Structure 1
Amino acid sequence: MNVQEDKRRSGILLGADGNALVNLVVVNAVLFVLIKFIYVIYLLSDLNIDAFYSSVFSWFILPADIDKLAYRPWTIISFMFTHERVMHVIANMLWLWLFGYIMQDLTGNRKLVSVYVWGGVSGAFAFVLAHYIFPRLEADLAFASLLGANASVMAVAVATTTVSPDYRIFPMINGGIPLWILTSLYVIIDFATISVGNGAMYLAHFAGGALGFMFIYQMRRGRDWSLWLNNLFDWFDNLFNPEKPSRKKNNKDSFFYKVSGQPPFKKYPNITQQRIDQILDKINVEGYHMLTDEEKDILRRAANEDEL
C-alpha cells in the first residue's frame, strides 16, 4: 500500500462528479452558448438587435440602479456567469482554471464555489454602491451594468495566493515560479483591460480580491464562510437523491482516561485500507488542514509501514 499513490488516485478527476472547478466552467460556457444562440435567432429573424439587449441580455447582467435590481434580484448571481464576448469568457475561464486547480489542491473541493460566489457578490455590492457614493458615477446610473466572472476569479486568485504565496508552478523553469508572481501579473492584466474611466469596475474587482483574502483569513481562525453554502448545496442535492447518505461528523481523538493535560494512554486504531481511503476522501473534499491529529497520525504510520 502506497499512501502517496492512493492520495493522487483519490483526487478529483477532470470528469468526476462533483468537481467544483469543472462545474463552474461548464455553467459559464453553457450560459454563454445559450445567450449567443438567442442572439443568432434575433439576427436570423431580422429582429431589432437592440431588442435582444433590452429584452434578453439585460435580464442576466447586474444593473447599477437599485430600482431595476429590485425587479431582477437574481442578477446578483447570474451576472458572474454571463459574458458577451468570446475572448472575455475564454480569458476568465483560463485564469479560473489555473487558480481554481491550485486552490482545490490546497484546500479541497468544497471551498472553490463559495469563494467564487462570495467574490462575485462582493463585487456586485461595490459596483452598485459606488454609483450612489461618487457623483461622477451617479450620472451613469441609469444605464451602467456589470457582467462577467472577473470579480469572482479575482477572489479565487487572491484566496489561492493567500493560502500559499510561495506555491511553485512550472517547476521545470528554474525551480518553478512563485504563485504570488503569477497573481500579480493577473491583477495587472485584469485592471489594464478595464475601460478607461469606469471606476466602479475597478472597485468591483478590488472588492472581489478583498473577499478572497478575508475568506482565507477567517478560515485560518476557525470561521468557515463556505459551510452554509455547502450545506445548502448538499440539501438541494439530497432532494433529488434521497438515498445518498449524509456526511458524517469528524471523529475526534479517543482516550481511555479523561484527565487534564496529556493523557497517560492514547488509543491507536488499527490501520485498515478502508480507514486510509476515508481519510484520503476527506483530504480530497476538505483539504489536508482539516484532518484531526488522529487522522494525520494514521497517515504517518501508514507511510512508515510502506517504507519498511
Structure 2
Amino acid sequence: MNTGGIRYYYARLNMAEKLIVLNVLVFIVDGLLKGLIGMSTVNWFQLPKEFFDFLQQPWSLVTYSFFHAGLGHIFWNMLMLYFAGRIFMNLFDAKRLLSVYFLGVIVGGLVFLLSYNVFPTLINQNTALIGASAGVTAVLIFICAYIPNQEVRIIFFNVKLWHIGLFFVLVDLVQIAYGGNTGGRLAHLGGAFLGYVYARQLLKGSDIGVGFARLFDTMENLFKPKDKKAPLKTVYKKNSTKGKSAKVDYDKETKQRKIDTILDKISKSGYESLSQAEKDFLFKAGKED
C-alpha cells in the first residue's frame, strides 16, 4: 500500500482510533530501538516521581502517556480506549475527546507526582510513570457519568455504564490497598476524577475543557498551510454564492439544534430513550465531525 493509501485510511479513522495508532507506533519504534541498537527513549519522556526531576523535563506530564511497559499493558489500554472511544465519538466531536483524554493524562500525572512526594510509604520507591491509562480512564468514566443508565452488551448479558465505571474504580482502590503499582493506580483515579467532573459539569452546561479545545485550534492553525495571495483581478459573478452560503449556515445551525436536543434527551432520560432514527442521526453526525 502506498503512502497516499495509508494517509487515506488514517484520515477515515475517528480520533480515538488515531490515538490508538499513535500509541502503537510509539510502542513499536521504542521496541525496535531497544532491540536493534540497545537504546530506549523512554527515560526522556516518562514522568519521574521527583518534582525537581520533573522540572527538567516538564513535557513528560503529557509524553509519559505514549509509552508502555509491555504488550499486555498497551493491549488492554488500547482495547478500553477503542470501546469507550466508539461510544464517546457517537456523542461528541474529536476535540472534546482530546480534551477529556489529555486533561485526564495531565491530572493523573499530577496526582502521581503529588502522591510520591506526600505519602511516606511511596517516597522510597524507585519508579516513574508511563502508560495511557489515566487518559483512557478519563474517557471511560466520562461516558459512564454522562450516560450512566446506557446499557452495553458484555458477552451474554447487558450492563449499565455506571456499573462498569464503578467496577474499574473499585479495582484500582483494592489494588492500592493490597497490590503493587500504587503510583499507576493513583494516576488512574486522577483520570477517573477528571472524567467524572467533566461529564457532570457538561450536563450542567459548563464545559471545563473549552480552554483546552482552543489550544488545539491554535496548534491546528499553526500547521495549516497559508493560502497564497492570488493576483488581483476583476470578476463578475452572480449573487448565487450568497444564497448557497446562507443555506449552508442554516443547515449547520439546524443540524446543531437537533444534536443539542438529542443530547438533552440523553442527559434527562438516558441513551435508550432515543428512537432508532435519533440514534442513527447521532451516529452519522459523529462520523461527519
TM-score normalised according to structure 1 size? 0.67
Task: Measure how far apart 1:191 and its partner are.
Answer: 6.1
Cα distance in 2 for partners of 1:232, 1:283 equals 27
Written as runs of structure 1 = structure 2, the 5 A alignment for 1:69-88 is 69-88=54-73
Letter of the structure 2 residue corresponding to residue 181 of structure 1:
H
Task: Measure how far apart 1:25 and its partner are.
Answer: 1.0
1:283 and 1:290 in contact (8 A); partners too: no
SS in 2 for 1:148: coil
- Structure 2, unmatched stretches of 5+, are 1-8, 228-246, 266-276, 282-289
Instruction: From the two aligned structures, give the one with the greater helix fraction.
Output: 2
Cα distance in 2 for partners of 1:145, 1:23 equals 26
1:154 and 1:205 in contact (8 A); partners too: yes
2:10 and 2:18 in contact (8 A); partners too: no
1:38-64 residue CA offsets vs partner (Å, 9 max, x unmatched)? 111234xxxxxxxx45xx321121000
1:108 and 1:283 in contact (8 A); partners too: no
Which among 43, 54, 58 is matched to residue 43 of structure 2? 58
Cα distance in 1 for partners of 2:199, 2:31 equals 36
1:102 and 1:160 in contact (8 A); partners too: yes
Pick closer, same or farther for the CA change 1:201–1:171 going to 2, 3 Å. closer
Q: State the identity as a percent.
A: 27
1:199-232 residue CA offsets vs partner (Å, 9 max, x unmatched)? 3333221111011111112222332122222222
- Larger CA Rg, structure 1 vs 2: 1
Letter of the structure 1 residue corresponding to residue 104 of structure 2:
G
1:106 and 1:287 in contact (8 A); partners too: no
2:172 and 2:185 in contact (8 A); partners too: no
Cα distance in 2 for partners of 1:173, 1:100 equals 22
Cα distance in 2 for partners of 1:138, 1:42 equals 33
How many residues are paired up?
241
Cα distance in 2 for partners of 1:61, 1:193 equals 22
1:110 and 1:226 in contact (8 A); partners too: no
Which among 209, 226, 229 is matched to residue 209 of structure 2? 226
1:64 and 1:128 in contact (8 A); partners too: yes
Cα distance in 1 for partners of 2:205, 2:92 equals 14
Counterpart for residue 177 of structure 1: 159
Written as runs of structure 1 = structure 2, the 5 A alignment for 1:101-180 is 101-140=86-125, 143-170=126-153, 176-180=158-162
Matched, 1:25 2:20: yes
1:154 and 1:208 in contact (8 A); partners too: yes
Instruction: Tell me how large the CA RMSD over aligned residues is.
Output: 3.5
Task: Measure how far apart 1:288 and its partner are.
Answer: 4.8
SS in 2 for 1:223: coil
Cα distance in 2 for partners of 1:137, 1:115 equals 28
Counterpart for residue 38 of structure 1: 33
